[in-house]
Amino acid sequence: MPFIRDILEYDSLSIVGLEKNTGKTECLNYILRRLSSQKCKVAVTSIGMDGESTDQVTRTAKPEIHLTEGMYFSTAEIHYRSRNLLSELVDITDERSSLGRIVTAKVLIGGNVLLSGPSSGTSLIRWMKSLDRFGIDLKIIDGALSRISSASPAVSRAMVLSTGAAYSANLDTLVRKTRFMVELIDIPLADSVLRNRFINVERGVWGTDKEGRMLDLGIASSLTMDGIKDDPVKRSKVIYISGALTDRFLQRLADSPEIKGAEVIVRDFTKLFVSETAYRMFLKRGGQIKVLQKSKLIAVCVNPTAPSGYVLDSEVLCRRLEQEIKLPVYDIVKNKYDLCC
């Protein structure tokens, strides 16, 4: 399977779980184990905290993060002190998390470690740049759906998604919800002219006039719809939303008599806070959604076991998902010793 070979084509990767206990750490460990045999320098961190042996919510056992010789890792000082490996401290930055300063080290003798790195997309970008002087080939971010900014194309160029019974114990619901997330990740890029026009716009809602020039629609964000009486779609068939796109704003646009052929643009899929119902209705009425930046979703990993003990059929789950999303789907736990790279 070309799983790891695909990852090696990129210089940054985020691993995002759609819910806690969907196998994200198993997926991370599998990738790290396979990468240890490759000739590339790897650095890893987490946007939250990962690697603890027991889940703090469910009190169930969790796999710890295992690093091998030559890998680099960044974590909070308090967790660096509790590491179970031998390492060389190579950097102490001014970057801080809620647990203290972030430190970076190189593994000398492999072992387990708790990762708790930068806590925002902006600080992750700074972290990645700080690693350039060490000649890192691949930077890996252990993320989470609650902090999905780690998967933004502004942060990482590629991503792996983990899903499973913890997300939904109903097979049909799990497949549908995962398919919708994959669909959002795969939303097409806007035209290059529009991408160049809006890429540096960080505030407000904008459109284009008849000459194609930027037009301020006078809307602070999709969260401030109260008091807006005119129809934004009548003013511009292209609408760029610099922040989050919400259900309420999308429904307002979908209700426009001019919606057919209108194009809504957001920075990337992490700005989409819309339900599948609102999304489908908008498309059905003739609207389009595009992005300025796009990550490459390489694969989906599944954990068919929920913390409650409920277990889905792994083969059926993988087969159904592959049919729906047209991407490789892996049960890492079941096949951890069989999957080849």
Domain boundaries, the chain: 3-178+295-335, 192-291
Query: Residue 194, CB half-sphere, CA atoms under 13 Å: how many?
Result: 24
As given in the structure block, the two tokens for residue 243 are: 């922040």
- Of 42, 14, 1, 2, the C-alpha closest to 296 is 14
CATH number of 3-178+295-335: 3.40.50
Tracing tokens 């995002």 back to the chain, one arrives at 16
How far is residue 70's CA from residue 108's CA, in Å, rounded to a whole number?
6
CATH number of 192-291: 3.40.140
Read off the pLDDT band of 206 (50, 70, 90).
very high
- Of 225, 247, 234, 295, the C-alpha closest to 267 is 295
Which of the residue ranges 99-103, 193-197, 224-228, 274-278 would you say has the lowest mean pLDDT?
A: 224-228
Q: Which residues pair with 163 in a beta bridge?
A: 302
- What's the angle, vertex CA 173, arms to CA 339 and CA 153, rounded to 5? 60
Q: Render pLDDT for 269-303 as a digit per residue (tens, 0 to 9).
A: 999 999 999 999 999 999 999 999 999 999 999 99
pLDDT at 146: 60
Total residue count of the chain as it appears in this document = 341
Q: Render pLDDT for 79-133 as a digit per residue (tens, 0 to 9).
A: 999 899 999 999 988 777 667 889 999 999 999 999 988 877 888 888 999 999 9
Which of the residue ranges 108-112, 132-136, 236-240, 334-338 would you say has the lowest mean pLDDT?
A: 334-338
Other CB atoms closer than 10 Å to residue 101's CB: what's the count? Answer: 14
Contacts of 121 (CB under 8 A, 6+ apart): 149, 150, 152, 154, 155
Amino acid at 89: L
Amino acid at 127: W
Which of the residue ranges 117-121, 134-138, 204-208, 309-313 would you say has the lowest mean pLDDT?
A: 117-121
Please give the span between the terminal C-alpha atoms of the chain, in angstroms, as a whole number: 6
76-99: b (≥16 Cβ within 10 Å) or e: beebbeebebebeeebeeebebeb
CB 117 within 8 A of CB 105: no
Which of the residue ranges 79-83, 152-156, 243-247 would you say has the lowest mean pLDDT?
A: 152-156
CB 219 within 8 A of CB 242: no
Q: In the predicted model, what is the mean pLDDT of the chain?
A: 88
As given in the structure block, the two tokens for residue 245 are: 């796109």
Classify residue 135 as left (phi > 0), alpha (psi -120 to 50) or beta. left
Higher pLDDT pick, 82 / 264: 264
Q: Render pLDDT for 165-174 as a digit per residue (tens, 0 to 9).
A: 999 999 999 9
How far is residue 57's CA from residue 252's CA, in Å, rounded to a whole number?
38
How far is residue 302's CA from residue 177's CA, in Å, rounded to a whole number?
13
Q: Show the DSSP H helices in the chain as ranges.
A: 3-7, 24-35, 77-81, 121-130, 171-185, 192-198, 232-235, 247-254, 276-284, 314-325, 332-335
As given in the structure block, the two tokens for residue 206 are: 């904008």
Q: Give this prediction's pTM.
A: 0.88
CB 246 within 8 A of CB 289: no
As given in the structure block, the two tokens for residue 282 are: 């908008």
pLDDT of residue 239 exceeding 90? yes
